[in-house]
Structure 1
Amino acid sequence: MAKVNKRLAVLVGCNYPNTQYELHGCINDVVAMKDLLVKRFGFDPTNIELLTDASAVTGEGSSSVVLPTGENIKAALSKMVSQAEAGDVLYFHYSGHGTRIPKPAHIFGHDEAIVPCDFNLITDVDFRQLVNQLPKGASFTILSDSCHSGGLIDKEKEQIGPSTYRAASSLSYKAKNIPFESILEHLTTLTGINTSDIGTHLLESFGANASLKFLTPQLESELFDFLKADEGILLSGCQADETSADMNPMESGGKAYGSFSNAVQ
């Protein structure tokens, strides 16, 4: 009997409800994407893990019970990659805030990260490690509808140049970005430590569940000593220095959505 290749997906929507960073369309994005994966691309619903930070009815009529914390997102992604075999298709869709982390040794350098609901940042180094673990012949597509998402797989060759198209819109929208300074301020209130080193705050707050970038700084260079041709594909809502938009037409009776998520559905 011929082997049947698996199609696996992890979908994450963060609306950050009841905070100053609240978005409105991110959960809608991943619920709609789940429906699309099942109906158009033949994914088995049991092979799709949905994580949201609010009660959201999925296409199957159930509710998300797993919060999109940094630990939970990384656990779901690691589980998916560990199940992969040659020929399998893996898909990760993230809709939420992104941020940029300044590199102390580089005046103009930054690392890109997504912002889970608990602010336990998942960085480009974490995504690079996941892609490096992919078995030969499997593909891993990462779609990030967030600000600064263009560099989320560190050292990956950029395939798409900067956009030159700018469309005017009368809809209400919000950039899907939390500035680094705001994240640092939030984490400082949690730890009570007076330092501008974000790694110190993340390690104090999340311990071994913090990003690999801060757990073992030397790992970043070690990861790239063994770079190989991979099947990692990054679809980003914008370049690393640009922003993505959370569209909110609810005042006119519409449903909120992420611009990039909506464009690919």
Structure 2
Amino acid sequence: MDQKGKKRYAVLVGCNYPNTKNELHGCVNDVLAMKEVLLRQFGFETGHVEVLTDEPGSSVKPTGANVKAALGRMVDKAEPGDVLFFHYSGHGTRIPSVKPGHPFRHDEAIVPCDFNLITDVDFRELVNRLPKGTSFTMVSDSCHSGGLIDKEKEQIGPSSTITTLTANADVTAKPKAIPFQTVLEHLSSQTGISTSDVGTHLLELFGGDAGLKFRLPAMDLMDLLETAAREKHDAGILLSGCQADETSADVVGGGGKAYGAFSNAIEMVLKENHGALTNKQLVVMVRDVLKKLGFQQHPCLYCSDQTADAAFLLQS
């Protein structure tokens, strides 16, 4: 608990997908490094920081159900004034929209280690449950992460120039993206069902643990999103590693250190600036760091006008 009585809670999730064709290398490192930043610089207590990784020997794997359960516990115990933080580092994907009236759009999702997708609607529902006066900051170091809290207002958004992922010659970079078709093929191999409807596979495999987007009837889904649009005290804050149509980089540096380009840039900026930075200042500075390092991904900020100019994690 900090000097003003706020309690600070965090859920940190790193998915490297070891020994699979989707393997990444820096995601676990990202969240372990962020844990140290939270403890050292932002007044979090060890007992209030939950870490889920898929590294060998991990007791609680970051499956879709486990990630949502951890987030749900954090939100349910929150009280007005508390500061909640979620950092995800891993693969992201885009899926055909199932929102009423948007048949040709794509929606964003993160890809837990068991491929039980967690979508923008799931994060919107979490934010809707927050008590007034509570903040929920989400850092998603994943591909297609722009817009991961549905209906959140864009503050810093898409660049006018869309570019592909490149980096400087000193590092090897891999995009943190799993194409939708790859997700579909993986799920189909598990269910044995011949359909291109991803929801059918997710419901077959995960039942009630599947995302809300796939479980809610169309009218209930519409009501959830309309409620979000009417909300005047929206506490959701999303810092995305890239735009919705871009990729984020998983990097192995010249010395063998593995990390996410976005997570690493955030940690660099926070280390160099011990005074409070606003959410908007942090994203602008992280964009500049990534540009100087040769990464052509554009972090974004989605939140209310008020929280855009609030200190990151309400640091005093």
TM-score by length of 2: 0.77
The 8 Å contact of residues 87 and 139 in structure 1, kept in 2 or not, is answered as yes
User: Distance between the aligned counterparts of 1:64 and 1:201, measured in 2?
Assistant: 27
Does 2:245 match 1:244? no
In structure 2, distance between residues paired with 1:54 and 1:182: 22
Identity of aligned residues (%): 67
Match of 1:96 among 90, 93, 107: 90
Q: Does the 8 Å CA contact 1:50/1:64 hold for their aligned counterparts?
A: no
Aligned to 2:107, the other structure's residue is in SS state: strand
Aligned pairs for 1:139-218 within 5 A: 139-163=135-159, 168-170=167-169, 171-218=171-218
- Aligned pairs for 1:1-80 (under 5 A) are 4-55=5-56, 64-80=58-74
- For residues 138-177 of structure 1, the C-alpha deviation after alignment (integer angstroms, 9 at most, x for no partner) is 1000000000000100111111122469774111110000
The answer to whether the 8 Å contact 2:140/2:241 transfers is: yes
Q: What residue in structure 1 maps to residue 305 of structure 2?
A: none
Q: What are the superposed Cα offsets for residues 54-102 of structure 1, whole Å, 9 maximum, x if unpaired?
A: 14xxxxxxx7421000000000000000011111000000000000001
Spell out structure 1 runs of 4+ moving beyond 6 A.
Answer: none
- Root-mean-square deviation (CA, aligned residues, Å) is 1.7
Return the alpha-carbon distance in structure 2 between the equivalents of residues 165 and 91 of structure 1: 29
- In structure 1, give the amino acid aligned to 2:202: L
Instruction: Using the TM superposition, give the Cα deviation of residue 224 of structure 1 relative to its aligned residue in structure 2, in angstroms.
Output: 1.8
Match of 1:117 among 97, 113, 118: 113
Residue aligned with 1:173, SS: strand
- Report the residue type matching 2:217 in the other structure: P
Give the distance between the partners of 2:197 and 2:209, measured in 1 at CA: 17
Q: Is the 8 A contact 2:167 2:173 kept in 1?
A: no
Amino acid of the structure 2 residue aligned with 1:258: G
Report the residue type matching 2:211 in the other structure. S
* C-alpha spacing 1:14/1:168, structure 2 compared with 1 (3 Å): closer
Amino acid at match of 1:199: G
Residue 232 (1) aligns with residue 226 (2): no
1:83 aligns with 2:83: no
- Per the alignment, residue 262 of structure 2 pairs with 260
Provide TM-score, normalisation by structure 1. Answer: 0.92
Using a 3 Å threshold, how does the CA distance of structure 1 residues 165 and 122 change in structure 2: closer, same or farther? closer
How many Å separate the matches in 1 of 2:191 and 2:50? 31
- Cα distance in 2 for partners of 1:127, 1:247 equals 27
Partner of residue 133, structure 2: 137
Q: Is the 8 A contact 2:81 2:133 kept in 1?
A: yes
Give the secondary structure class of the aligned counterpart of 1:78: helix
Which 5+ residue runs of structure 2 have no aligned equivalent? 268-316
CA contact (8 A) 1:126 1:213 kept: yes
1:247 maps to amino acid: V
- 1:115, 1:142 → 2: CA distance? 15
- Give the 3 Å change call, closer, same or farther, for CA 183–168 of structure 1 in structure 2: closer
| Cα distance per residue 1:3-43 (max 9 Å; x no partner) | 72210000000000000000000000000000110011110
Gapped regions of structure 1 (runs ≥ 5): 56-62
> After the TM superposition, which of the residue ranges 216-225 and 232-241 deviates more from structure 2?
216-225
